[in-house]
Amino acid sequence: MTFLKIFLLFPLLSLAFSQETFTSHLLPRPLIIEYPENTETNFRELEEEFKLHCISWRFSVEANNINPWKTIPQECAEYVKDYVTGRAYGFDLERVSKEAGVYAKAIELSGDGKDAWIFDIDDTLLSNLPYYADHGYGLEVFDHLEFERWVEKAMAPAIKSSLKLYEEVLGLGIKVFLLTGRGEGKRKATIENLVNAGFRDWHKLILRAPDEQGKLATVYKSEKRNEMEKEGYRILGNSGDQWSDILGTSMSIRSFKLPNPMYYIP
């Protein structure tokens, strides 16, 4: 930003001083010294305006007020990049897991093996940030095939704070269900990735069957939760980065929405 300011100030100042030479005798004008101040103010205002706009956009996304959306707003590209690569994203992720952990520890468990917690996988347990770093952090339209190649690599790192919550939940004796929108064909790569990232001892890993590929995530995940309930499970908690992980029917007693300003799954 400083560079940009200097870059744009230079021609302004050149213009100002060149005019000073040729036309200073013609008109009463304010002191030239005012130019830099105004320019800086304008830049700050503009910067402030963009930030307000992008923060407001992100809030609307996290509160599920904007949907559906396919790419992040062009003018928020830098903001989203700064957010996910800076400290704030990690801060927010940690807080969600911390709140979930406080809740989990306070639950009076039945101890009959039917206490359950659902975790989504992508950008809930495993981070696809390395993939999105190569795809404009949500600025590019989602490329299904390209993303599948990334999944096959099984190289997504763990979201540290989610791994911590995962282990706390397991430690309490709650059964862990992994419910993902990934297709059944990705089971092997998914298990490999999860294990390498430190996840273990889940009770069930649920992937989309071929005939479930066309369903909205909200519908598919609701159906799977419904099956769990029919099997007698009490869904105590549900962690996901998408509202479609959380809303629908057979909703969990408490849900935990992890931040994700990069993409939206209906």
The smaller minimum CB distance to its own copies, of residues 12 and 55, is found at: 55
Rounded to a whole number of angstroms, the minimum distance from the CB of residue 75 to its own copies is 14
Rounded to a whole number of angstroms, the minimum distance from the CB of residue 77 to its own copies is 19
Rounded to a whole number of angstroms, the minimum distance from the CB of residue 42 to its own copies is 17
The smaller minimum CB distance to its own copies, of residues 127 and 252, is found at: 252
* Residue 109 identity: L
> Contact at 8 Å (CB) between 175 and 117?
yes
> Contact at 8 Å (CB) between 264 and 101?
no
Q: Partners of 206 in the beta sheet?
A: 179
Binding site for its own copies (CB under 8 A): 52-53, 55-57, 59-60, 62-67, 87-88, 91-92, 95-96, 99-100, 254-257, 259
The smaller minimum CB distance to its own copies, of residues 93 and 116, is found at: 93
Q: Which residue has the tokens 């870059």?
A: 7
Distance separating alpha carbons of residues 198 and 125, to the nearest angstrom: 10
The smaller minimum CB distance to its own copies, of residues 193 and 260, is found at: 260
Distance separating alpha carbons of residues 259 and 189, to the nearest angstrom: 25
Distance separating alpha carbons of residues 121 and 181, to the nearest angstrom: 8
> Contact at 8 Å (CB) between 259 and 241?
yes
The smaller minimum CB distance to its own copies, of residues 53 and 203, is found at: 53
Rounded to a whole number of angstroms, the minimum distance from the CB of residue 91 to its own copies is 5
- 221, two tokens: 């995940």
Rounded to a whole number of angstroms, the minimum distance from the CB of residue 87 to its own copies is 6
